[in-house]
Structure 1
Amino acid sequence: MTSPHYGGPGSGPRPRKVDPADRAQLAEQPVSLRRIGALFAPYRWQVAVVVALIVASSLISLANPFLVRAVIDRAIPAQDVPLLVWTVLGMLAVTVAVSVIGVVQTWISTTVGQRIMHGLRTDVFAHLHRQSLGFFTRTRGGEIQSRLTNDIGGMQTVVTSTATSIASNLTTVVGTAVAMAVLSWRLSLLSLIVLPPAIWLTRKVARMRRAITAERQRTLADMQSQIEESLSISGIQLGKTLGAGPAMSQRFSESSLVLTDLEVRSDLSGRWRMATMSIVFAAIPALLYLAAGLPATSGGMTIGTLVAFTGLQGALFRPLMSLLDVGVSVTSSLALFSRIFEYLDLPVEIDDPRHPVPMPREDVAGAVRFEGVVFRYENADRNALDGVTIDMPVGSSLALVGETGSGKTTLASLVPRLHDPTAGRVTIDGVDLRDISLAELSELVGVVSQETYLLHATIRENLRHARPEASDADIEAAARAAQVHELIESLPDGYDTVVGARGHRFSGGEKQRIAIARTLLRDPRILVLDEATSALDNETERAVQTALDAVSRGRTTITIAHRLSTIRDADQIVVLDRGRAAERGSHEELRALGGRYAALLARGGDARAAAEEGAVAERGAADVAPRVQARRRAPRGEEAGDRVAVEV
């Protein structure tokens, strides 16, 4: 068992007491020892073998003191060479046997421990992937990483070593005590005098180290959050543009200084108490020699017996103190188990239905309907959506416009089930989204958002992330449809070009088109475009919009846009105001209505829309209508010049 300050278990910030935060954690999320034991259940036979090996090793090692006594009391005085040879060979055999058993035991126990850690890590990771966006909105990324790495890493030594340490130390203590009593019951009683002060001092030192360890864990978690926030590509960019680099460095330096102090305190904690205990331990052999030399207490003890007993006595207190350390480590680790189990016990707000309705993509037309949808964010004082009803026929396009905070993104996020409505429902071909499996829904609905996220991998790997089984031909077809194939081919490494952290090697428009290709590779029936061009310059926007127009033909499309010029050809435009559908109709109808939509145009909130209004008026409704009708008539997968269907 490693030292109690190995950095895993966390407990109280005050010396001599358990951390109040740990108390609160355990009170809120109690940990059942049966649940911890269940982690070892799949490996019960391996654990049994390990315990058997430990017991055998401990018992075999107890032969050494008796062999030493035979050498000193019989073989050497009597010049009994055969006995001397056999006892020496016996000592070597004990050493070899104990070493081999130790290697085998360590291999099995470490393998079991690592598999348990692997199970915990992957279970927590998979469970967190099932959480809603709300969880990640209210939880720091550094906190999540700390639980997955620091907390589980802190538990690793306990899970790997606790069972073996308990078995080994308990067997050694019991066996040593019996052997000592066999050698000399008088000296055994004398050795027990030191137990109370040794136990008391050990517990005091352990509590002090636990207090420092808890603070050290919190400091490490804070430092990890700082590293994640400050040294990511976005953090570096923000620091440089705001001139915040020195402040970030100063903050990190302060945290590092605190950690340095904690490490020093951890090494020095309880040293004077440990020194006192060392003095006590050192005094015991002296007392034993004194007792062996006095006629009243020697009882005719031989030198061999004294040497053997002294060796056993020295071996007794080490496993005894380790047993106490194991108890301290297990107790302080309960808070870590609680933190991990707390994540595993998080309810899944958006989960697969118990009996999903089959929705194979080839059988889905793609009609979307919002029926009396109401949605309210947690702790919000009003509904983000309030009774919204919208019908979207197959292959039609819907544009959502409105002021910031009107509910556009919230409404669109219901389609891929990033949220579920508080009331009402959203359907695809008449089937409630909550009755469709999440895997099938992700195949039916594709999302392109303003915030494009690319993995730090090659372009090919980024695209294949959407569909791992896609062929190179499928990938290139999707890239062509997204108007980005020529750009990729012009790069020195082509599709094997590494995009860099978060895709910062490419411009905003290039990243958007790669993201469009990635979404198109799944060939979704329904496409959600969440302000996909709002952050782009005019020229880049035109390139991206061309790609979006091509891939949206024949698909049911929901578009959120601040630039009204990008959605004037939409089949249906809905103006949202404080979560309600205030107006709906075509661009010309809403413009002629003179309401909120017309006010958005007149206010110049979309400079390009205002500039293009004259051109729209000149073309007239007669020019717009045929193009809209043509889009409605366009079957999915046709018009090779506009989009390319990618077969699964």
Structure 2
Amino acid sequence: MTAAAAAQLRDADADADVADAVPLRRMAALFAPYRWAVFALLALAAVQALANVVSPFLLREIIDRALPERSAALVSWFAGGMLVAAMAAAGLGVATTWLSNLIGQRVMHDLRVGVYAHLQRMSLRFFTRTRAGELLSRIGNDVGGVDNVVTNTASSTIQNVFTALAVAIAALIMDFRLGCICLIVVPLFLLFSMRLGRRRRAIARGRQRRLAGLTGLLEESLSVAGVLLTKTLGRQQALTDRFAAESRELSDTEMAAAMSGKWVLSTRRASLTMIPAIVYWIAGVALANGAATITIGTAVAFTSMLNRLVAPATALQSIGVQVSTSVALFGRIFEVLDLPVDVVEAPGARTLAEVRGDVCLQGVSFRYDDAGEWTLRDIELEVPAGRTTAIVGETGSGKTTLGYLVARLYDANQGVVSIDGVDVRALSFGCVSDAVGLVAQDTYLFHDTIAANLRFAAPDATDADLTEAARAAHIHELISALPHGYDTVVGARGYRFSGGERQRLAIARMLLRNPPVLVLDEATSALDTRTERAVQAALDELAKGRTTIAIAHRLSTVRGADQIVVLDRGRIVERGTHAELLAAGGHYSRLVGELD
């Protein structure tokens, strides 16, 4: 299922029409937790719109009444009213902007966390099939791309819609005939802007796809491992040329997005500004013919009113284009949120009050693809509590996969993996992670201090705990010799340290967690012989009373195991002690030379 999910995430970009399927109600549902704040925003926008249309009426009174009567008091009152209305509208504008940004940022926070949390729930299988840069782009570029729409565009839409409605109603009240002309012409201009939506969505989706490709290239080529590979193979110029080509495609797409529909929109904006000229023409003709139906004050005030309509009408045109563009981004975000999770926590999942550490695999079979070959087949294995079982076999025999099934990084396709007689699928994720600790061959350290990396496994660990674990892993002396000690920043992926040093830090980190079941995936493979012996001695001492599954790389790891299991092409072909298997003269005896 997860393989299909990864393919879905990768291939959805090829279909530009996917974004069209995103229902607006789903986007609106993001604001549901803040409905009362949205209602307050609507109320503020309505009051602000009313304040904006007061001034034209007062202006008409000044021209048609106060000036003909030569009344300084009336001029002062009406002008003062215009000032109060302007200040009220300005204050309400600040309040609506603050409230809309508050709502928008909370929605953005929910969206970012929702996408990240959902990706955290995906199984390891999904991440082995999905480019890391694609995921970074979904969280960074796609979610970031809707930020302006969610925070500013939403409030701008509300404000401009209310302003346009208020101006339209006020125009009809001020002069019904002129108001009807405006209400017929302006909506026609707005209607044509809807035709730009589909093209903008297609351009936006192509833009995000190219951004994802560029982000993926950056993530891979500028990592420490990527730089090492590039420099040692002399491929710096080739990567630079590839980056330039991707950047050029992105620039072309950005240019297309910037110019899409600009001539149409500019023409419509110009048309909107022509309406005041029509009003003056109608009023001028009426006055020239001696008609008194439209006064000078009405003509001037109506024009002032229309100037207040041009801004929101033009803004709504641009907003329509922005919303059409954002639908494509929401479509990509919802694609992530809709990805199926194949390793799920069962409803009512239980915990174990005390973990003894008995591990059992009964009839376990596993494959990475539904139609692929079996990686493990019909595995029957019991690992008694407090004992050490070594898993050996040639590369690709399924050793690491077996360890991953015990840690429930994957779920078996067939059979049962159990701890203390309880199927791991019936246990909570927290219970499994507390019970099973995994030290992988590929050690990962965060770009943080040594202490922070160690405390990632045990947040409440004291400085004394860190020292004790580091001593057991034979890394304390090295850390103490550093200028900043445990506050030393390890660098990207820990590359400031050697492979053996990183592995010992990982062992110290797992010792802090102190799980009842320990899976060592060739945990000492990166150590030199002397250090490996010291660390192995410490692990042997700490493994007393703990169930240990050691995926073996060296004979020293295997020789002292209580049980050795030999895998060949996903099946158990031999099991027994070191002496028993050597005496049998089978697969194990042929592997001994390789292990040593």
TM-score when normalising by structure 1 = 0.84
Counterpart contact for 2:48–2:88, Cα < 8 Å: yes
Partners of 1:509 and 1:544 within 8 A in 2: no
| 170-179 vs 200-209, which moves further | 200-209
2:288 is the counterpart of 1:294: no
Judged with a 3 Å threshold, the aligned counterparts in structure 2 of structure 1 residues 109 and 535 are, in CA distance, closer, same or farther, namely same
> In the alignment, which residue of structure 2 is the partner of 1:643?
none
Deviation at 1:454, TM superposition (A): 0.5
1:244 and 2:235 equivalent? yes
Is 2:441 the partner of 1:450?
yes
How far the C-alpha of 1:26 sits from its partner, in A, is 5.2
Deviation at 1:41, TM superposition (A): 2.3
Residue 598, structure 1, aligned to residue 589, structure 2: yes
The residue type paired with residue 377 of structure 1 is Y
The answer for the alignment partner of 1:425 in structure 2 is 416
Question: Shift of the alpha carbon at 1:408?
Answer: 0.7
Moved more, 304-313 or 454-463: 304-313
Aligned residue number for residue 335 of structure 2? 342
| In structure 2, distance between residues paired with 1:493 and 1:54 | 56
CA deviations on 1:23-77 (whole Å, 9 max, x unpaired) are 23555xxx44444333222222211111011000101110111122122233334
The match for 1:397 among 368, 383, 388 is: 388
Report which stretch shifted further, 144-153 or 490-499. Answer: 144-153
- Name the CA shift for 1:551/1:215 in 2 (closer, same or farther; >3 Å): same
Structure 1 CA distance for aligned equivalents of residues 502 and 136 of structure 2: 27
Residues 1:169 and 1:20: Cα distance change in structure 2 (over 3 Å): farther
Alpha-carbon spacing, 1:155–1:248, altered in 2? closer, same or farther (3 Å): same
How far apart in 2 are the matches of 1:482 and 1:81? 91
Counterpart AA for 2:388? S
Residue 618 of structure 1 aligns with which residue? none
Does 2:19 match 1:21? no
In the other structure, the counterpart of 1:212 is 203
CA distance in 2: counterparts of 1:275 and 1:444, whole angstroms? 65
Shift, 1:316, TM fit: 2.0
Given the alignment of the two structures, is residue 258 of structure 1 paired with residue 252 of structure 2, yes or no? Answer: no
Question: Are the equivalent residues in 2 in contact too, given 1:575–1:583 (CA < 8 A)?
Answer: yes
Distance 1:435 1:444 in 2: 14
Structure 1 partner of 2:5? none
1:100: how far off? 1.0
Please give the residue correspondences for 1:499-578 in structure 2 after superposition, counting only pairs within 5 Å: 499-578=490-569
Q: Is this contact kept in 2: 1:53–1:105, CA < 8 A? A: yes
Query: Deviation at 1:565?
Result: 3.9
Q: 1: CA distance between counterparts of 2:344 and 2:94?
A: 46
Q: Which moved more, 1:274-283 or 1:589-598?
A: 274-283
Q: Conserved in 2, the CA contact under 8 Å of 1:202 and 1:321? A: no
Alpha-carbon distance in structure 1 between the residues aligned to 2:487 and 2:69? 82
Aligned in 2, Cα 1:372/1:211: closer, same or farther, shift over 3 Å?
closer
1:319 equivalenced with 2:312 (yes/no): yes
Match for residue 185 of structure 1? 176
Q: Which amino acid aligns with 1:574?
A: V
Given the superposition, is the C-alpha separation of residues 36 and 191 from structure 1 closer, same or farther in structure 2, using an over 3 Å criterion?
Answer: closer
Contact 1:353 1:435 in 2 (8 A): yes
For residues 276-296 of structure 1, the C-alpha deviation after alignment (integer angstroms, 9 at most, x for no partner) is 334423433322222211136
Q: Which moved more, 1:498-507 or 1:547-556?
A: 547-556
Aligned to 1:355: 348
Cα–Cα, structure 1 residues 331 and 274, in superposed 2: closer, same or farther, change >3 Å? closer
C-alpha deviation, 1:352, in angstroms? 2.6
Is the CA contact (8 Å cut-off) linking 1:233 and 1:501 kept in structure 2? Answer: yes
Pair 1:469 & 2:463 matched: no
Matched residue SS, 1:121: helix
In structure 1, give the amino acid aligned to 2:238. Answer: A
1:407 to 2:398 alignment: yes
Residues 583-623 of structure 1 deviation map (CA, whole Å, 9 limit, x = unaligned): 1111121112111111223xx434xx2xxxxxxxxxxxxxx
Q: Is the 8 A contact 1:201 1:277 kept in 2?
A: no
8 Å Cα contact 1:291/1:297 also seen in 2: no
Q: Distance in 2 between matches of 1:56 and 1:288?
A: 27
- Contact map agreement 2:363 2:380 (CA 8 A) in 1: yes
Structure 2 counterpart of 1:148, one-letter code: I
- Distance in 2 (CA, whole Å) between partners of 1:327 and 1:275 is 14
2:219 to 228, 231, 237: 228
Q: Offset at 1:518?
A: 0.3
Q: Deviations over 1:488-529 (max 9, x none)?
A: 111111111111110001111111111001001011111111
Tell me the amino acid that sits aligned with residue 130 of structure 2: T
Which residue among 139, 159, 184 is the counterpart of 2:130? 139
Confirm or deny: 8 A CA contact 1:448 1:528 kept in the other structure. yes
Contact 1:455 1:462 (8 Å CA) reproduced = yes
The one-letter amino acid of 1:304's match is G
In 2 relative to 1, CA 237–540 (structure 1 residues): closer, same or farther, beyond 3 Å? farther
Alignment partner, residue 614 of structure 1? none
**RMSD of aligned alpha carbons:** 2.4
Deviation at 1:210, TM superposition (A): 4.0
Match of 1:493 among 481, 484, 489: 484
Structure 2 unaligned residues grouped into runs of 5+:
1-12
Q: CA deviation at 1:212?
A: 3.2
Deviations 1:211-255 (A, max 9, x none): 433322222222211211111222222222222222222111122
Looking at structure 1, the residues matched to 376 and 419 of structure 2 have their Cα atoms a distance apart, in angstroms, of: 19
User: Which residue of the partner structure matches residue 304 of structure 1?
Assistant: 297
Contact 1:531-1:562 within 8 A present in 2 as well: yes
* TM-score (normalizing by structure 2): 0.91
Q: Could you tell me which residue of structure 1 aligns to residue 66 of structure 2?
A: 75
CA contact (8 A) 1:357 1:435 kept: yes
CA distance in 2, matches of 1:135, 1:298: 78
Give, in angstroms, the shift of residue 197 of structure 1: 5.7
Instruction: From the superposition, tell whether residues 368 and 518 of structure 1 become closer, same or farther in structure 2 (CA, over 3 Å).
Output: same
Partner of 2:10: none
Partners of 1:167 and 1:84 in 2: how far apart? Answer: 34
Q: Per-residue CA shift, 1:368-391, capped at 9, x if unaligned?
A: 121121112124432111111112
For residues 34 and 273 of structure 1, what CA distance do their matches in structure 2 show? 29
**Cα displacement (A) at 1:451:** 0.3
Segments of 5+ residues of structure 1 without an aligned counterpart are 1-18, 610-648
Of residues 435, 438, 448, the one that matches 2:426 is 435
The more displaced of 338-347 and 60-69 is 338-347
Relative to 1, partners in 2 of residues 1:288 and 1:251: Cα closer, same or farther, differing over 3 Å? same
Letter in 2 for 1:400: I
Counterpart in the other structure of 1:64: 55
Q: Whole-Å Cα distance in 1 between the matches of residues 436 and 568 of structure 2?
A: 25
Relative to structure 1, is the Cα distance of residues 26 and 422 closer, same or farther in structure 2, using a 3 angstrom cutoff? farther
> Percent same amino acid among aligned pairs?
51
> Cα distance 1:279–1:48, how it changes in 2: closer, same or farther (>3 A)?
closer
Which stretch shows the higher mean deviation, 217-226 or 281-290?
281-290
Give secondary structure in 2 for the equivalent of 1:264: helix
Letter in 1 for 2:352: M
Alpha-carbon distance between aligned partners in 2 of 1:262 and 1:531, rounded to the nearest angstrom:
47
1:65-144 maps to which residues of 2 (within 5 A)? 65-144=56-135
- Counterpart contact for 1:205–1:273, Cα < 8 Å: no
What is the one-letter code of the residue matched to 2:476?
H
Checking the alignment, whether the CA contact within 8 Å between 1:448 and 1:516 is kept in structure 2 is yes
SS of the residue corresponding to residue 564 of structure 2 reads strand
Aligned residue for 1:447, secondary structure, equals strand
